[in-house]
């Protein structure tokens, strides 16, 4: 049996999936922990997720509260591959927040970074990591929206 692909999910996908129940981002988040793929997390990425979600909680669109944010992050941490990072590749990409995703992907031996900002990750293929949007990623797994 083939091993599930391990991926890093960019914060923009997380936010999009929580803002709307329509679309590939929500579907991707609903598949976390079901065995179709493995999500990789690091302390810096969890902190970035938390920061984005706490900013989002003030939005009328999501109606997230502190307990919701804590519960979601706790769940992700309970089902994800937790990776410590001992070597920093910085600076490779223009945005340091994108560098932390690349570092996690390399350290955790991820197949892909799932993001809407593909152009921001130009050149990461030299690290053996592909960059894919949520829809095509799910289609490649045989999961359709």
Q: Which two tokens stand for residue 19?
A: 């803002």
Rounded Cα distance, 140 and 145, in Å: 12
Domain boundaries, the chain: 6-141
Q: pLDDT tens digits, residue range 72-82?
A: 999 999 999 99
Q: Which two tokens stand for residue 35?
A: 């065995």
* Closest to 105 measured CA to CA, from 88, 129, 125, 73: 129
pLDDT score recorded for residue 32: 97
Residue 1: band (very low, low, confident or very high) from pLDDT cuts 50, 70, 90 = very low
Regarding beta strands 112-114 and 38-41, do their DSSP bridges make them parallel or antiparallel, or are they unpaired?
unpaired
Question: What average pLDDT does the structure give for the chain?
Answer: 91
pLDDT score recorded for residue 76: 98
Does domain 6-141 bear CATH number 2.40.220.10?
A: no
Give the pTM.
0.93
Mean pLDDT of the region 88-98: 81
Which of 8-17, 41-50, 59-68 shows the lowest per-residue confidence on average (mean pLDDT)?
59-68
| 28 and 114 Cβ atoms separated by less than 8 Å | yes
Q: What percent of the chain is predicted at pLDDT more than 90?
A: 74
Annotate 51-83 with DSSP letters as a single string.
HHHHHHTTSTTT---HHHHHHHHHHHHHHSEE-
Mean pLDDT of the region 11-18: 95
Q: Does residue 104 carry a pLDDT above 80?
A: yes
Rounded Cα distance, 73 and 126, in Å: 31
Q: Output the CA–CA distances (angstroms, integers) from residue 42 to 2, 45, 64, 142, in the order listed.
A: 24, 5, 23, 27
Q: Which two tokens stand for residue 125?
A: 């293929």
Q: Does residue 2 carry a pLDDT above 70?
A: no
Rounded Cα distance, 12 and 28, in Å: 12
């Amino acid at each position: 049996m083939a091993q599930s692909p391990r991926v890093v999910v960019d914060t923009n996908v997380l936010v999009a999936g929580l803002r709307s129940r329509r679309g590939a981002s929500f579907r991707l988040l609903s598949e976390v922990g079901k065995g179709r793929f493995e999500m990789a997390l690091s302390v810096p990425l969890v902190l970035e997720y938390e920061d984005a979600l706490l900013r989002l909680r003030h939005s009328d669109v999501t109606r997230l509260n502190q307990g919701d944010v804590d519960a979601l992050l706790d769940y992700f941490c309970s089902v994800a591959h937790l990776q410590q990072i001992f070597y920093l590749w910085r600076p490779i990409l223009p945005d340091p927040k994108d560098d932390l995703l690349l570092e996690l992907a390399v350290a955790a031996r991820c197949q892909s970074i799932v993001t809407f900002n593909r152009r921001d990750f130009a050149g990461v293929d030299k690290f053996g990591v592909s960059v894919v949007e949520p829809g095509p990623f799910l289609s490649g797994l045989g999961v359709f929206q």
